[in-house]
Amino acid sequence: MDRRIFGLETEYGITCTLRGQRRLTPDETARYLFRSVVAWGRSSNVFLENGGRLYLDVGSHPEFASPECDSIWDVVRYDRAGDQIIYDLVVNAEARLRDEGIRGNISIFKNNTDSAGNSYGCHENFLVARAEESNDYLDVFIPFLVTRQIFAGAGKILSTSRGQSFSLSQRAEHIWEDVSSATTRSRPIINTRDEPHADAEMYRRLHVIVGDSNMSQYATFLKVGSAACVLKMLETPGFTLRDLTLENPIRAIREVSSDITCRHPIRLANGKEMSALDIQKYLLSRALDYRDEHGFGDEENQALSMWEESLQLLEHNPMALSDRLDWVAKLHLLRRYEDRHGKTLSSPEAQMIDLQYHDINPHRGLFFSLENNGIMRTFVSKEDVDLATHSAPRTTRAHLRGRFITAAKEKQREYTVDWVHLKINDQSQRTVVCNDPFKYQDERVDQLIDAM
């Protein structure tokens, strides 16, 4: 596809504590968090003026789904805007707690696991043509996703029978299948539920649920951008990629996650062995060939350069990526703390560093401390993020949704919206169906807005 729609769905962990002790349950905290949303006259499942969706998911996890983006940079921008939208809810909720005489601080973590062993996800969506065959996803795309954690993992202290160890990925231990229609009962790498949110005869949505939530803008861009490059190679007739089918993808994803050297051999279905670094280097080399033979777009070329740079440093000097990749940045913090204070990964202090890295409070989170001090590389300005919290992308269907919601709120009209439908809730039940996610101008929507 020359143009592609991208999206991220991010679920967040939530706590309310006072002096380290739990003050409210996650369910009670979530009710305070979403009270301002319900006060808008809506439920805890709403679409916003920026075209995205704000939702309270199973397990009292706030979730922000980005609007449809046709730019990888927009994916990064709206991902960060989601953090800001959720944090604004925290500020409002804490004010209500104070007004009601309840003492406690609400923390929101952009991570993927909690202390009880539960996992919540960061799902990636890629629009693909319906005609594309999916066999190559097993041969190539799943091995790519399994090994991509060497640059896309968020890092985690993992408790094992042998004690604590550092792993690359937070999601790896919670994945149980390669492909499946399930999302929670038996989490797969790729969710196959056929829900394109578009013309079902033309498109389907590739729903990747294996990835970690990234704090780093660099890691988010690289995660999505490298996947876009691999998808384009798979979709191009005549461009060949060797069969990389893994003998056991679920065993492999855990083996890769537990290997911070990225060199541990994993077994392919053909009996050969390659390390995660080997598989990524091979796919990168073919992507470079593709660039020379067919050409990538500007953003894909940017991702290609970042991919090449990251793999070179992972092979020769991985800690040099502590200003770009989440797992390296976190490991650097932990090692520095260990050197200064003699603490091990099993210490409460190390566990706290592991968690606080993901705190989205810009005044308290460890990642934001690194970013505010110029240590982490950034690409999206605060002004761009602020704009993205209330303004939709202008070159996708999200623009129509954002205009409609803004107009309905201004005119105090009741409405119903989902990814495809825009409806005014009156006697006529006027509805516009927007099946083309690339279409950002539509006379029918103009007329619907004028009729309010």
**Active site (catalytic) residues:** 57
Burial of 107 (0-12, 13-18, 19+ CB in 10 A): buried
Q: Distance (Å, rounded) from C-alpha 432 to C-alpha 447? A: 10
Residues whose CB falls within 8 Å of the CB of residue 257, separated by 6 or more in sequence, listed in order: 149, 153, 167, 168, 169, 172, 173
DSSP label at residue 29: H
Contact 236, 128 (CB under 8 A): no
Taking alpha carbons only, the member of 55, 75, 86 closest to residue 125 is 75
C-alpha triplet 140, 146, 152: angle, nearest 5°: 115
What does the DSSP 8-state code read for residue 390? T
* Axis-axis angle for helices 398-410, 443-450 (nearest 10): 10
> Which residue carries 């090449």 as its tokens?
308
CA distance 152 to 211: 8
Helix and strand numbers (H, E) in the chain are: 15, 18
